[in-house]
């Protein structure tokens, strides 16, 4: 196994000659993390006696369990990665191998740079104060030359105030989170591995942690975030890995992997992210100046409909087939790809019932470019009752709504339908195409920021009198 773990005993400010070693391969940046066919195997013994017999090399009964099974991927400098998966999927095992706390049974890992693994309460002694635990925790990571600057940074960032001098056993889980995160990032590591640090603590501090990780990324450092918060992966990560029962299920753009994982957790469905050859071919054609199939469908004429991209279909039971869709201006009946806020838009979906079924609802989601949901509409919101289809017949479903007052920009769309009284998804497409929201030019609109624009407003000053 090739395990390169850079000279941690030099401490947080010591020079690290190997951190710049082999940073270029054939003129290109080398991966800071290269994970090659990693398998981590454990033996599970039915009795303590079997464990003892195995320790002496004698015959014993045991079962072999793979916490990780043939996992491979590479992380480049300055990338922000997310790792998702349900409990027991192997996420923490993988992080501990990257951090050097565990060694793989099979495979190898190469690292370039100083690594910090952030787990809540890592190395914290409940009997010691927060201040004492800063030194204790970093000592366990071989970071022994902490200065007063490090102590002051942790005090300020954690916002613990006088509690920094109290025993950690008196801390809430949120206070543990504050102290743990501040201690981990104080040493300015090249690679920060954060394991479920956003699971506890208040919203404001979680946002502060994410802002710090974004700062690390902007400075060319590498961040790996393990979290169950799919929105955090969509918002902050460039790439993501989904692990399930020790195996790598999907690897790719963070938004797509996050939705694959979400669909699996909600509906038990594994999406099509791992089978994107057609999508990649389309992207290459567009890059060469040719149009993809979807672009051709979208640009022929104003009356044409958009054909869904099969690579974006994340749920399909074979009961319903969504054939095409379009957005039109309700009053001019023109096909639109740009929405003017306040105007009434119709979203028309043509579909075929491949089996007789009771459609519970249709839903439509608008995503901001960072992956967060900007708008979600469901036919139930407008009083639509379950609708019974007949096998082989075609139908049209239509949403009618006022274009929301969102900030100008490009937004991607997801849509789908569900069946039965419980509303189980039968067909769904994620990020299938995009629309643009464009405001008419005006001084008040152009000067605003954020996700929502206020088109009309006022402000005033008023002198107060003694009677007020």
The pair of structure tokens assigned to 130 is 């927060």
* Residues 382-430 pLDDT 10s: 999 999 999 999 999 999 999 999 998 889 899 999 998 888 999 999 8
For the entire predicted model, the pTM comes to 0.63
Residue 228 has pLDDT above 80, yes or no: no
Residue 287 has pLDDT above 50, yes or no: no
Give residue 326's pLDDT: 95
Give residue 360's pLDDT: 94
Alpha-carbon distance 240 to 227, whole Å? Answer: 11
Following DSSP, what letter does each residue of 230-298 receive, concatenated? Answer: HHHHHHH-SEEEEEETTEEEEEEEHHHHHHHHHHHHHH----STT--HHHHHHHHHHHTTPPPHHHHHH
Cα distances (Å, whole numbers) of residue 32 to 23, 26, 159:
8, 15, 32
Alpha-carbon distance 213 to 184, whole Å? Answer: 11
3-class secondary-structure state, position 170? helix
Query: Comparing C-alpha atoms, which of 279, 91, 272 is closest to residue 194?
Result: 91
Query: Comparing C-alpha atoms, which of 56, 58, 85 is closest to residue 71?
Result: 85
Give residue 398's pLDDT: 96
Alpha-carbon distance 225 to 102, whole Å? Answer: 18
- Mean of the per-residue pLDDT values of the chain: 80
Give residue 200's pLDDT: 55
Helix (H) or strand (E) holding 91: helix 91-98
Alpha-carbon distance 189 to 59, whole Å? Answer: 45
- Phi, psi of 442, deg, nearest 5: -160, 155
Any alpha helices (H) in 165-223, and if so which ranges?
173-186, 203-218
Alpha-carbon distance 75 to 68, whole Å? Answer: 18
Alpha-carbon distance 59 to 145, whole Å? Answer: 47
Residue 322 has pLDDT above 60, yes or no: yes
| Highest CATH level, class, for 302-446 | mainly beta
* Residues 129-173 pLDDT 10s: 988 888 777 676 666 555 677 888 888 888 888 899 999 899 887
Q: What angle do CA 256, 236, 121 make, to 5 degrees?
A: 115
Q: How far is CA 267 from the centre of its chain?
A: 18
Following DSSP, what letter does each residue of 210-231 receive, concatenated? Answer: HHHHHHHHHTT-EEEEE-S-HH
Domain ranges of the chain: 8-267, 302-446
* Residues 103-136 pLDDT 10s: 999 999 998 887 877 765 556 788 999 888 887 7
> Are 8-267 and 302-446 equal in CATH topology?
no
Among 1-15, 119-133, 249-263, 380-394, the least confident range:
1-15
Report, at the CATH architecture level, how domain 8-267 is classified: 3-Layer(aba) Sandwich (3.40)
Q: What angle do CA 314, 317, 323 make, to 5 degrees?
A: 70
Cα distances (Å, whole numbers) of residue 179 to 143, 144, 205, 419:
16, 18, 11, 47
């Amino acid at each position: 196994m090739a395990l390169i773990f850079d000279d941690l005993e030099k401490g947080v400010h010591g020079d690290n000659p190997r951190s710049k070693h082999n940073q270029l391969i054939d003129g290109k940046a080398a991966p800071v993390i290269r994970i090659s066919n990693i398998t981590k195997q454990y033996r599970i013994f039915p009795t303590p006696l079997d464990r003892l017999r195995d320790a002496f090399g004698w015959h014993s009964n045991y079962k072999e369990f793979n916490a990780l099974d043939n996992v491979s991927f590479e992380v480049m400098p300055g990338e922000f990665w997310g790792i998702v998966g349900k409990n027991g999927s192997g996420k923490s095992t993988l992080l501990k191998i990257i951090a050097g706390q565990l060694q793989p049974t099979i495979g190898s890992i190469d690292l370039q740079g100083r690594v910090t693994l952030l787990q809540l309460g890592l190395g914290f002694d409940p009997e010691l104060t927060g201040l004492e635990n800063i030194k204790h925790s970093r000592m366990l990571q071989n970071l022994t030359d902490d200065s007063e600057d490090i102590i002051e940074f942790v005090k300020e960032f954690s916002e613990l105030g006088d509690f920094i001098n109290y025993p950690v056993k008196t801390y809430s889980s949120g206070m543990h989170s504050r102290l743990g995160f501040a201690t981990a990032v104080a040493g300015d590591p090249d690679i920060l591995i954060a394991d479920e640090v956003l699971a506890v603590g208040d919203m404001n501090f979680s946002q502060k942690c994410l802002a710090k990780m974004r700062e690390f990324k902007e400075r060319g450092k590498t961040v790996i975030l393990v979290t169950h918060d799919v929105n955090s992966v969509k918002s902050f990560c460039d790439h993501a890995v989904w692990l399930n029962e020790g195996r790598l299920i999907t690897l790719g753009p963070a938004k797509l992997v996050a939705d694959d994982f979400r669909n699996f957790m909600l509906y038990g469905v594994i999406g099509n992210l791992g089978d994107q050859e057609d999508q990649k071919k389309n992207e290459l054609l567009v890059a060469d100046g040719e149009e993809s199939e979807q672009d051709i469908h979208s640009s022929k004429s104003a009356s044409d409909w958009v054909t869904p991209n099969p690579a974006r279909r994340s749920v399909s039971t074979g009961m319903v087939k969504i054939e095409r869709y379009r957005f039109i201006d309700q009053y001019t009946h023109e096909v639109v790809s740009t929405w003017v806020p306040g105007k009434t838009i119709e979203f028309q979906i043509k579909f075929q019932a491949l089996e007789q079924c009771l459609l519970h609802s249709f839903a439509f989601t608008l995503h901001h470019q960072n992956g967060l949901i900007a708008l979600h509409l469901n036919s139930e919101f407008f009083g639509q009752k379950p609708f019974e289809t007949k096998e082989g017949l075609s139908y049209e479903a239509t949403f009618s709504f006022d274009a929301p007052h969102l900030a100008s920009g490009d937004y991607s769309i997801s849509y789908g339908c569900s069946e039965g009284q419980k509303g189980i998804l039968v067909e769904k497409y994620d990020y299938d195409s995009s629309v643009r929201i464009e405001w008419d030019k005006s001084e008040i609109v152009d000067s605003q920021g954020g996700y929502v624009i206020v088109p009309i407003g006022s402000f005033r000053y008023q002198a107060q009198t003694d009677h007020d």
